[in-house]
Amino acid sequence: MPLRPSRYAVVGRTEFRHPSGRVVRPVLHTATGRVFLADPATAARLDTSQPPVQAGPDGTIAEQVDPVREQQLAAVGLLVDADRDEAAETLAASRAAARDHRVRNTIVMPSAYCNMGCGYCGQQHERRTVSGVHRAALAARIDRAAHSGRYDALNVRWFGGEPLMAFAVLRDLSRSFVASADAAGVRYAAKLVTNGVLLDARKLHTLHQQCRVGLIEITLDGPAEAHDASRPLKRGGGSFHRILATVAAALADSELVDLRFIVRTNVGLHNAGLAEPFAAELAAAGLAHDRVACYPAPVHSWGNDVSAVAVARREMAAAELAWFRAYRRHGLRFSLLPSGPRQVVCAATTRHSEVVGADGRVYSCTEQPLVPGHTGQDLGSISTLDADALRPVGAFDDWYDTVAAGETPCRGCAILPVCGGACPKLWREGAPPCPPLRDNVRERLDLYAADAGCVPLHEAHPAAGAQPD
Ligand code: SF4
Ligand code: SF4
């Protein structure tokens, strides 16, 4: 069977001089997340954006196929049998992962209220916390899952509204969940997604030591002035410096050494150009630290109109690179490239994940509760669902069949394995959610090569295409 380049080999445009003296071009294999620094002949063999080598007038071709190289490339999946349907294999792996997941994921909104009033937020907040009846039903459901023998681990994500508005509920439920996991002998891990305003040293100790929260994701929308304007407190006043000081203190606290942080910046027109002062402020506060990872996320629609603040797709791809460069200049940690395939794209595509709203309603997608026009898409109440059964089928559990049927361009996309289609809900709403990676993957490969000490030989390879698909 003849070999051809994998459709998931994305070849960088630029040739570099490696510190060893070799000339290389970076190659990302999106099926595995591995990056290679390939010699020019190998890169040319893999780069399907270049025209194939033509036979000369006498029937000879300029370069002979190197059988050793062909076998090496086939061994790592960069060359594949010509008749392989890699997209079908990717989707089959996703279906299997969604079906056979050994981790039960529960996303809980302990509070339907938020103490911030961000202009781009699509949620409608109300003063409500999970009632005692629903708490008991949720604890029982998690206990049954823990003891079912079906799972190796329970993962809980605290989400909102602002989850710390119902800190007592979060603590109470955590106590039950942790006890169930320990009694059943399964692992337990929890993540908190918060605006960070209500965090303090006492809560951090409780969250980490009692509630077993190991990861806290905080949103900071720019340097102090931009953040405080973009994410105003409903009672007035700013929060940037206070949040930074809390995180910095946690990093120095010997009882919190296993607690990690993610700093997300929601990037819109208001702050897209503020990467440099933002990164400088974080570094000055001590957040250039192995336990803090940063990423920029484009502001997107939750069904609300964000056209006045969202950055257009191509501009966002360029802005993201500027954020990465600023992170790097100031020593902040971030993921330049995906580390591996994303088999299950999100909670909404596996019935081993579910979202529990503050009113006790169960959803499959995190952007259904509290979002006007979507709250009616619940799958039932936590108090009446069969505690031993998986959640009912939701709107996006057929996602991998949808992609296989070609209802979106994802099936033909070179980054499908690491993207997974990004967001089924946005596709169904007619708003393609392609992440900036689709547009800037080759520039990211250039940054990767530079990080490895490589020096560009000249500008982008003239024959390389602009798109990864
Ligand atoms: S969402 Fe966009 S980038 Fe992701 S797989 Fe689909 S087409 Fe590709
Ligand atoms: S469908 Fe989109 S909004 Fe819903 S959980 Fe998945 S990624 Fe999130």
Question: At residue 225, does pLDDT exceed 70?
Answer: yes
| CB within 8 Å of 296: residues ≥ 6 apart | 264, 265, 267, 275, 319, 320, 323
At 253-285, the pLDDT tens digits run 999 999 999 999 999 999 999 999 999 999 999
Cis ω before 117 (30° cut-off from 0): no
Q: What is the maximal distance between C-alpha atoms in the chain?
A: 83
> Is the shortest distance between the CB of 397 and ligand 2 below 6 Å?
no
**466 pLDDT tier (thresholds 50, 70, 90):** very low
Protein residue with least CA distance to atom 7, ligand 1: 410
Where b means 16+ CB within 10 Å and e means fewer, 76-109 reads: eebbbeeeeeebeebbebbbebbeebebbbbbbb
pLDDT band at 447 (very low <50, low <70, confident <90, very high): very high
What local confidence, expressed as pLDDT, does residue 465 receive? 47
Q: Give yes or no for residue 411 CB within 6 A of ligand 1.
A: no
- Judge if the beta carbon of residue 139 lies within 6 A of ligand 1: no
Q: What is the mean predicted confidence (pLDDT) over 18-30? A: 97
How big is the chain by its Cα radius of gyration, in Å? 24
Indicate if ligand 1 lies below 6 Å from the C-beta of 415.
yes
pLDDT-derived band of residue 64, with 50, 70 and 90 as boundaries? low
Give me the pLDDT at residue 51, please.
63
**Conformation bin of residue 212: beta by default, left when phi > 0, alpha when psi is -120 to 50:** left
Tell me how far the alpha carbon of residue 427 lies from the centroid of ligand 1, in angstroms: 10
Size of the chain in residues: 469
Ligand 2 nearest atom to the CA of residue 364, by list position: 5
Spatial separation of the C-alpha atoms in residues 85 and 464, rounded to whole Å? 24
pLDDT at 84: 97
- If you average pLDDT over every residue of the chain, what do you get? 92
pLDDT at 464: 47
| Secondary structure element (H or E) that encloses residue 203, with its range | helix 201-205
- pLDDT value at 461 more than 60: no
CATH topology (fold) of 101-377: TIM Barrel (3.20.20)
In the chain, ranges of CATH 3.20.20.70 domains? 101-377
pLDDT tops 60 at residue 38: yes
Ligand 2 center–CA 361 separation, angstroms: 17
Closest protein CA for atom 7 of ligand 2: 423
Q: What is the pLDDT of residues 280-333, one digit of tens each?
A: 999 999 999 999 999 999 998 777 777 778 999 999 999 999 999 999 999 999
| 237: DSSP letter | S
Q: What is the pLDDT of residue 61?
A: 45
Q: What is the pTM of this model?
A: 0.92
Residues 6 or more apart whose Cβ sits within 8 Å of residue 98: 343, 344, 349, 350, 351, 352, 397, 400
Q: Whose CA is nearest to atom 4 of ligand 1?
A: 421
**pLDDT reported for residue 200:** 97
pLDDT at 124 over 60: yes
Q: If you measure from the C-alpha of residue 399 to the centroid of ligand 1, how many angstroms do you get, rounded to a whole number?
A: 13
Distance 435 CA to ligand 1 centre (A): 7
Residue 408 pLDDT = 97
Give the model's pLDDT for residue 468.
54
- Going from the Cα of 365 to the center of ligand 2, the distance in angstroms, rounded, reads 5
Q: What is the distance in A from the centroid of ligand 2 to the CA of 418?
A: 16
Can you read off the two tokens belonging to residue 430? 């007619």
CA 19 → CA 26, 124, 254, 455, distances in Å?
Answer: 14, 54, 39, 8
Between CA 84 and CA 91, with CA 86 as vertex, the angle to 5 degrees is 135
Distance (Å, whole) CA 23 – CA 15: 7
Instruction: Give, in degrees to the nearest 5, the angle at Cα 134 between 130 and 135.
Output: 75
Looking at residue 58, its pLDDT comes to: 57
Q: What is the mean pLDDT of residues 115-136?
A: 86
Calculated CA dihedral for residues 423, 418, 461, 15, nearest 10 degrees:
140
- Name the band, by pLDDT with cuts 50, 70 and 90, for residue 63: low
